[in-house]
Chains A and B, each alone.
Chain A
Amino acid sequence: MSKASAVMDVGVGKKRVNPIRELWQNKFLYLLALPAIVYTFIFSYLTLPYIAIAFEKFNYKTGIMSPFVGFSNFEYFFKSSWAWTVTRNTLVINILFLLVGTVCAVVLAIVLNEVKAKRFLKTSQSMMLFPYFISWVIVSYMLQGILGTDTGLVNNMIVAAGGSRINFYSTPSYWYPILLLLNIWKNTGYNTIVYLAAITGIDEGLYEAAYIDGATRFKRIIYITIPLLTPTICIMTLMSVGRIFYGDFGMLYAIIRDNSSLMPIAEVIDTYVYRTFKNTGDPSLSMAIGLYQSVVGFILVFTANWIVRKKFPEGALF
């Protein structure tokens, strides 16, 4: 992914430029970029002043000029038991996805690389990529069809085998495995693309030499593919580590929704911010929680990018 490619040009001219002349000379170029610049300005930079709400007692009449209350919104959040719960859930879910997801994607890429029948490879790859294009809302429908208590596929099988029905949707302990499986099922095909591309980029001569020297397939994978794939794995992992403080709202809200029996394990910061906003109608409190996420998230993303830049200059984003 281009996350893994340098954003900045190297070796820019150090000469001072006259801004007006530069803008006039390249007016067409700047005009082309203008819509994106304006859009980003409005939806990113202009939203920054609203952060002040986190330190205020928001009132819809006074808007952003509401009375200042210092850190009391943060205090309220960090004193509630939810602060720890949602932070832990976000981290646990993301780390689980990251670790198992990466292993699955890498293994699948290596396995796919061993498939020599082209048609078979293409067909199976398209099948694996398909879930990626389907929305989480539809996935939540399927999941109900599979896990539903009265009509679900799994429960039908359990009953047919003589067992008694399991109410998945009210038993939190099943849900980390379920969410993990869902995530792997939906994203592995997509995540594999980058790794497979990196593997197919490995010099074919290495494999030939190893083959002639009598290395088995297993040895070729262990001693050639995996070492040469390591930089890509590191870059991709670091990038994901940077995003570890952001939960997958689209996934979790579609699947968990307002199911309060699953919230203790599946409520993440993003869904909690939304729920606080919706249920209490208090923008100040949810802004405070959101700011907590943004700041910690920023530190993580920035650090991850910094490490990538130091260790893998060719893959640095910035």
Chain B
Amino acid sequence: MNATVMAAQPSTPNNKIKRSTGESIGTFFIYLVVFLFAVMCILPFILVIIVSFSSEKSITLNGYSFWPSEWSTAAYNMLFLPSSAVPQAYLVTGISTVFGTLVATFITFGAGYTLANRSCRYRNGLSLYFYVTMVFSAGLVPWYMMCKSLNCYDNIWALIVPSLMFNPFNMFLVRNFVRGIPAELNESAKIDGAGEVRIAFSIFFPLCLPVLATIALFYAIGYWNNYFNAVMLVNNEDYYSLQMLLFKIQSEITALSNLSAGAMQTVNPPKESFKMATSVITMGPIIILYPFLQKYFVKGMVVGAVKG
């Protein structure tokens, strides 16, 4: 295993040599398999998007379908009714994701940087300190009691602080990355008169951006997709995150979005398409950021994982 793995796709050794027919058929099947699996991976999302734009009548009549008999945006209109809980949940999730990710990334960088620094004599002891928590955890009940006693309960902190704000796995990613940077850089900066703060933030921080982007993504996805914290620690509907809202809606749709308030006139409130529309706007940021996201994700995973 070495660090340059992503550098180049192996080129076909000899393009001029004629391939056998067997190999050409093999190539065809390889492309077919890859294509089919890739399509299978996104087809369900396309279904969700299509259903969210279907009219409720066509859903009750024909069920979920890729070709609804009637299109409609009623579900999306409903999302933004004053009685809808979705905008509030969006706000709560957005705030916790942005704030949490920034803090988490900073904390993780600090610890990872220190653990990679050779002048820090206790770095192995600290590694052990963090590693222990990765192999043994006391479990759900102590975690819950700790959150309660810290007052991370029924407020926005419950969605930000417990579990999500630091992950030793990410810290080791950062540490391994920093270790890959030549130590001479540190020494020469010192000789040039740079203080420790400067070395950490003006020299190493920018160099670490690839791995920091990766862990920031880990954290952001963790925050955005988390429903566990809300299930465990939040009863107050004002602090429901999007995922929690979705989780609740599935069984008790009318309870939360108070459909009757704005949709009285429609005999058949768009229940199914409403659920799908909520899913679509919950996935929205991920879909929009996706091209950027996956580029850094693959890069960072490889950088951190494959030790030189």
Contact = CB atoms under 8 A, between A and B. Distances in A.
B297 A26 contact: no
Contact of B283 (A114, A138, A156): A138
A129 B297 contact: yes
B16 to A, nearest CB: 12
Contacts of A189: 41
Interface stretch (A94-102, A172-180, A297-305): A297-305
B127 interface: yes
In this complex, the interface size class of chain A, counting residues with CB under 8 Å from chain B, is: 35 or more
A112 B5 contact: no
Interface stretch (A48-56, A77-85, A260-268): A48-56
B53 to A, nearest CB: 14
Interface string B25-42: 011001101110111111
A40 B168 contact: yes
B182 interface: no
Contacts of B291: 126
Contact of B305 (A4, A35, A124): A4
A111 B121 contact: no
Interface string A1-33: 111111111001100010000100110111011
A218 B269 CA distance: 57
Given A2-B169, A28-B196, A39-B165, A193 B298 contact: yes
Contact of A193 (B121, B122, B302): B302
A36 B119 contact: no
A32 B111 contact: yes
Interface of B: 1-2, 4-14, 20, 22-23, 26-27, 30-31, 33-35, 37-42, 44-45, 47-48, 51, 59-60, 62-65, 106-108, 110-111, 113-115, 117, 119-124, 126-133, 135-146, 150, 162-163, 165-166, 168-169, 171-173, 176, 196-197, 200, 221, 224-228, 231-232, 243, 246-247, 250-251, 272, 275-276, 279, 282-283, 286, 290-291, 293-294, 297-298, 301-302, 304-307
- 10 closest cross-chain pairs (CB), A and B: A290-B139, A50-B142, A36-B111, A135-B225, A47-B142, A32-B110, A124-B38, A151-B63, A33-B114, A127-B38
9 contacts: A7-B172, A22-B121, A32-B111, A32-B114, A111-B33, A116-B9, A145-B48, A145-B51, A152-B63
